[in-house]
Amino acid sequence: MKYAVGIDLGSTTTKAVVLDEQGQVLGRGITNSRSNYKVACDVALGEALNRARLGMIERELARAGVDAGRRRAWLEDFDRRFREQQYRAQLERLARTLELHAREERDSALVRPLIADVIQRMREETAELFAAGANRKSDFFRDLAGSRYLAIAEGLADERGARFDRVAGLFDKSILEVENAAEEGGLFAVLGRAVLGAMASPPRELAQAIERAAGVPMEQACCVGTGYGRATLPFPKEWIRSEILCHGLGAHAMFPGTRTVLDIGGQDTKAIQVDAQGIVTSFQMNDRCAAGCGRYLGYIADEMSLGLHELGPLACKSRRQVKINSTCTVFAGAELRERLALGEKREDILAGLHRAIILRAMSLLARSGGVRSEFTFTGGVARNAAAVEALEKLIFENYGQVQLNISPESIFTGALGAALFAHREAQRALVPSELAEPARG
């Protein structure tokens, strides 16, 4: 099977979308961006191809006559177990890397057994971490493993008289190497069989579907890159497209009635106007400052010792918004601490902060040509409930009733647009004999 792929290298996450020969989405993948851009692209693409094969499994089950309810239950169980096997494989790579670095420590006789015990505890709690219904704060290995490693290591370091900062430093050094290591080939088949082996009595239809999906050859026809870091992508220049064009086309593909697009990413905000074909007619972007973008929200989360995913739900609990004077990242910490010292509630500060971010975006929208229905909100910040709530209120106050489109897959919009450009390039590259109708006889 030939596929086209779009890669969106953002400042915080790298996304990939894979399309089939008809231009339909096969799979999506996401990972945290890292120092090695090629590996980030490879990991995101590998995840998208795994998702594509998961779709193949579902189609195989449907052909085998398995009803929709059982298909859904089997696939959810398989997906959860598959992610568990991925985590276990990465944990073993981390264990090996930590051991190598621990040998170089002056007090390695103390540190190595401590780290071995930390890893063993992490192994033992993996099943619970991926149990049905478990609430994981992230699916990124660095986040999951990092939080557990540091929590366990801190307790053990206190018990054994080791310096916690040294043990934490070993993790920081090792995780970079683990993240920047290429995945092994044929991973889906290996992990898929591991999942079946871990199941007490896997359904025969599921086992057959997994084997068939793992055996489908996948061939890349074309790849187009975009995103904040597109200039650093290891692609030929002709395979790079502007974020503006990709978000416009991606939003139009997701919601064909789209005429205005707002994208708030990690480092920039874009207000885009598109025509009925998804072609960009005008746009405005913020300056180089990351104020009011995802990076700013990340900084605020760090200042408040919260996870980024916790900001929106906490802000939605506010009863009284606090007016925020600046969304400058440089001064964010000082103003935040001042507000807290004055006795303001965290949720009220966050509610005011989200409104301030959207007010900046509204200024860009006005300069790009205003808001026309349909209006589509894209980017990672579109997953933030408080940002969406503030946007809905301000759009209604300034433009009246406008249809606002937000997809659960909004973070993949840029990668989808890039994939659509790649699909078009792949179609143009087809030789006449491939385009011709097969002879009948």
Per-residue confidence band for 330, with pLDDT thresholds at 50, 70 and 90: low
Q: Is residue 172 part of a domain?
A: yes
Q: Is residue 198 part of a domain?
A: yes
- Residue 295 in this model has a pLDDT that exceeds 80: no
pLDDT higher at 308 or 177: 177
Angle of helix 68-102 relative to helix 204-215, nearest 10 degrees, comes to 60
What share of the chain in percent tops pLDDT 70? 92
Same domain, residue pair 170 and 48: yes
How many independent structural domains does the chain possess? 2
Q: Is residue 421 part of a domain?
A: no
In this predicted structure, which of 109-118, 332-341, 354-363, 413-422 has the lowest mean pLDDT?
Answer: 332-341
Q: Is residue 117 part of a domain?
A: yes
The rounded distance, in Å, linking the Cα atoms of 175 and 181 is 10
Same domain, residue pair 156 and 283: no
Same domain, residue pair 58 and 186: yes
- Residue 236 in this model has a pLDDT that exceeds 60: yes
CATH number of the domain to which 284 belongs: 3.30.420.40
* Beta strands at 404-405 and 375-378: parallel, antiparallel or unpaired: parallel
According to the per-residue pLDDT averaged within each range, which of 247-261, 302-316, 373-387 is highest? 247-261
pLDDT higher at 140 or 27: 27
pLDDT of residue 233: 77
Per-residue confidence band for 336, with pLDDT thresholds at 50, 70 and 90: confident
pLDDT of residue 438: 40
Same domain, residue pair 66 and 190: yes
Look at residue 283 and give its three-state secondary structure.
strand
**Chain centroid to CA 32:** 7
Per-residue confidence band for 441, with pLDDT thresholds at 50, 70 and 90: very low
Backbone angles phi, psi at 200, to 5 degrees: -60, -50
Look at residue 330 and give its three-state secondary structure.
helix
pLDDT of residue 29: 94
pLDDT higher at 328 or 74: 74
Decide: pTM greater than 0.75: yes
Same domain, residue pair 93 and 181: yes
Q: Is residue 222 part of a domain?
A: no
pLDDT mean over 65-70: 94
pLDDT of residue 331: 61
Structural domain boundaries enclosing 393: 256-406
Q: Which amino acid is at 374?
A: E
- Residue 70 in this model has a pLDDT that exceeds 60: yes
pLDDT mean over 347-369: 89
pLDDT mean over 376-389: 90
Q: Which residue has the tokens 């971010």?
A: 357
Same domain, residue pair 143 and 260: no
List Cβ<8 Å contacts ≥24 apart for 271-276: 271/361, 271/364, 271/365, 271/367, 271/368, 272/244, 272/247, 272/248, 272/368, 273/368, 273/369, 273/372, 274/248, 274/249
pLDDT of residue 435: 39
Instruction: Look at residues 188, 215, 242 and tell me which one is the last residue of a structural domain.
Output: 215
pLDDT higher at 326 or 84: 84
Q: Is residue 330 part of a domain?
A: yes
Look at residue 261 and give its three-state secondary structure.
strand
Same domain, residue pair 83 and 199: yes
pLDDT of residue 267: 75
Burial of 341 (0-12, 13-18, 19+ CB in 10 A): exposed
How many CA atoms are closer than 13 Å to the CA of 348, on its beta-carbon side? 11
For residue 348, what are its two tokens?
A: 């009220």
374 preceded by cis ω (within 30°)? yes
Same domain, residue pair 376 and 279: yes
- Residue 423 in this model has a pLDDT that exceeds 50: yes
Same domain, residue pair 42 and 92: yes
**Chain centroid to CA 113:** 35
Q: Is residue 268 part of a domain?
A: yes
Mean pLDDT value across the chain = 87
pLDDT of residue 60: 94
Q: Which amino acid is at 44?
A: A
pLDDT of residue 186: 57
Same domain, residue pair 61 and 208: yes
According to the per-residue pLDDT averaged within each range, which of 25-39, 233-247, 267-281, 332-346 is highest? 267-281
The pLDDT tens digits of the residues spanning 166-220 come to 899 999 999 988 887 766 555 687 888 888 888 878 889 999 999 899 889 999 9
Same domain, residue pair 201 and 284: no
Q: Is residue 413 part of a domain?
A: no
